[in-house]
């Protein structure tokens, strides 16, 4: 504990300098989607590589077909310690609409935001402030004797554009990236005072279905009531997807869906989550979906089926009395647990085919599929991280789920065979991707201390 106390004291001593280093990074307009900022992305990558080199890492800027990666390695002086791979991204979203910013997006400043001191700039929360919490934790160790474990750091420059260069980079550098455990900081807290570990990411199946009836558009006065209207047909099929209890009716859909461990289920029940306020914030008051499940379960740990778009017939102004030849819908399935994406897609297609008249045709277009990911609740790394976060925040961390996905975590699991600890210190009100993005100063400072505690806990 004496050594850990020294590291934490050093992180506290470095606070002002750490903020200055973050501000330097935030001043670089590393917008990955706009080719005009390619030079700024190079500058951000170089800045981070130089910072890591100054800490004794063997760091380099690696070119890709798009924006460069930063890859760095450092070894602990201790023997028989774990090896962790930390991931973050230095690229940021565009700032538009610029007129809605209260200050220059790339002139970072400390400001009072609803009574709380915060760092305001594009990228403050997503993801420059987050990744720098880990860098500053490493600095605390380096300046007090050395890292407690072997560390590899990967900073990407295209996360905000879908990571087009990442798959090839991972494939080409598997041996160099392989570690015992991955760490990802692109997540958040439960609230301003309560840390969280994201333990579940839902998978995704994206299907487009196109139904064709007649060989041409038909006059509804001449053919209405006799000829199949593909819009009506598709609407009936869509309506059949859910039962009156909110459950998805596709055969075998719930195969592989697991119940929450009692410890996690009990924790979620005690969380200060107001379902009425959650729905009220978007103008709703009646919860949809599985009627016997809480809203938190629905968005974190239960599978879903949703129609994201539907098209057919006349879309212009006024009226046109036509029976269209075709109608289409785009459907997404969020997956959990051990649901098999290929089986879900096949079962959905069978579900549609079974409801088609013999003279109608259907075409299916896949827009991608990926499995759900989860960190085993029995994981020793998870339990150690929980204890470390509790020590820093004096609150039991929430074992959170995520309704969305983080593609890099899937890549780590599938390509590098590594589990991932997802721990971040962002807040729901950080306005990421929006004007006036911010990162609470406490998130930055205690985030660095938290990572130090976690790294130490992983080696005990």
List the domain boundaries for the chain.
Answer: 2-200+373-459, 203-257+303-370
Residue 1, pLDDT score: 57
pLDDT band at 460 (very low <50, low <70, confident <90, very high): confident
Residue 407, pLDDT score: 81
The CATH number of 2-200+373-459 is which of 3.40.630.10, 3.90.1150.10, 3.20.20.70, 3.40.50.2000? Answer: 3.40.630.10
**Nearest-angstrom CA–CA distance, 255 and 250:** 11
**Nearest-angstrom CA–CA distance, 185 and 364:** 37
Question: According to CATH, what is the number of the domain 203-257+303-370?
Answer: 3.30.70.360
With contact defined as beta carbons under 8 Å apart, do 30 and 155 qualify?
Answer: no
Q: Which of 132, 138, 126, 137 lies closest to 31 in space, CA to CA?
A: 126
On the question of a common fold for 2-200+373-459 and 203-257+303-370, the answer reads no
Q: Is the peptide bond before 127 cis (omega within 30 degrees of 0)?
A: yes
pLDDT in tens, 427-452: 999 999 999 999 999 999 999 999 99
Residue with tokens 């579900």, as numbered in its chain: 351
pLDDT in tens, 21-65: 999 999 999 999 999 999 999 999 999 999 999 999 999 999 999
Q: Is the peptide bond before 97 cis (omega within 30 degrees of 0)?
A: yes
* Residue 147 predicted with pLDDT over 60: yes
Kindly report the average pLDDT of the chain as a whole number. Answer: 96
**Nearest-angstrom CA–CA distance, 154 and 168:** 14
């Amino acid at each position: 504990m004496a050594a850990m106390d020294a590291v934490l004291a050093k992180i506290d001593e470095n606070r002002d300098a750490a903020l200055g280093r973050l501000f330097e990074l935030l001043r670089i307009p590393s917008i990955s989607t706009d080719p005009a900022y390619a030079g700024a992305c190079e500058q951000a990558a170089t800045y981070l590589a130089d910072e890591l080199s100054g800490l004794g890492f063997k760091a380099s800027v690696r070119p890709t077909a798009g924006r460069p990666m930063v890859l760095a390695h450092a070894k602990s002086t201790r023997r028989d310690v774990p090896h962790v791979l930390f991931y973050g991204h230095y690229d940021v979203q565009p700032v538009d609409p610029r007129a809605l910013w209260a200050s220059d997006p790339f002139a970072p400043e400390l400001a009072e935001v609803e009574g709380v001191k915060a760092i305001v700039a594009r990228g403050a929360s997503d993801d420059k402030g987050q990744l720098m919490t880990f860098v500053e934790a490493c600095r605390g160790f380096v300046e007090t004797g050395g890292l407690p474990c072997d560390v590899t750091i990967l900073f990407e420059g295209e996360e905000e554009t879908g990571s087009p260069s990442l798959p090839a980079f991972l494939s080409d550098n598997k041996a160099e990236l392989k570690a015992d455990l991955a760490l990802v900081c692109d997540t958040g807290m439960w609230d301003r005072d309560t840390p969280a570990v994201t333990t579940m990411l839902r998978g995704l199946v994206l299907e487009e279905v196109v139904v064709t009836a007649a060989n041409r558009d038909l006059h509804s006065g001449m053919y209405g009531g006799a000829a199949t209207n593909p819009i009506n047909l598709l609407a009936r099929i869509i309506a059949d997807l859910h039962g009156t209890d909110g459950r998805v009716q596709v055969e075998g859909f719930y195969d592989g869906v697991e119940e929450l461990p009692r410890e996690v289920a009990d924790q979620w029940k005690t969380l200060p989550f107001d379902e009425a306020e959650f729905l009220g914030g978007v103008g709703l008051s009646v919860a949809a979906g599985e009627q016997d499940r809480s809203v938190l379960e629905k968005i974190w740990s239960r599978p879903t089926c949703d129609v994201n778009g539907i098209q057919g017939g006349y879309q212009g102004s006024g009226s046109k009395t036509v029976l269209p030849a075709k109608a289409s819908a785009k459907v997404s399935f969020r997956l959990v647990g051990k649901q098999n994406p290929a089986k879900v897609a096949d079962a959905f297609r069978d579900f549609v085919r079974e409801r088609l008249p013999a003279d109608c045709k259907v075409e299916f277009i896949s827009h991608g599929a990926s499995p759900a990911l989860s960190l085993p609740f029995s994981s020793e790394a998870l339990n150690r991280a929980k204890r470390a976060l509790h020590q820093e925040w004096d609150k039991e961390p929430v074992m959170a789920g995520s309704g969305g996905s983080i593609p890099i975590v899937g890549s780590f699991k599938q390509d590098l065979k590594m589990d991932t600890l997802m721990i971040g210190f962002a807040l729901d009100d950080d306005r990421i991707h929006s004007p006036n993005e911010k990162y609470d100063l406490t998130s930055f400072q205690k985030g660095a201390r938290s990572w130090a505690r976690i790294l130490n806990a992983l080696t005990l």
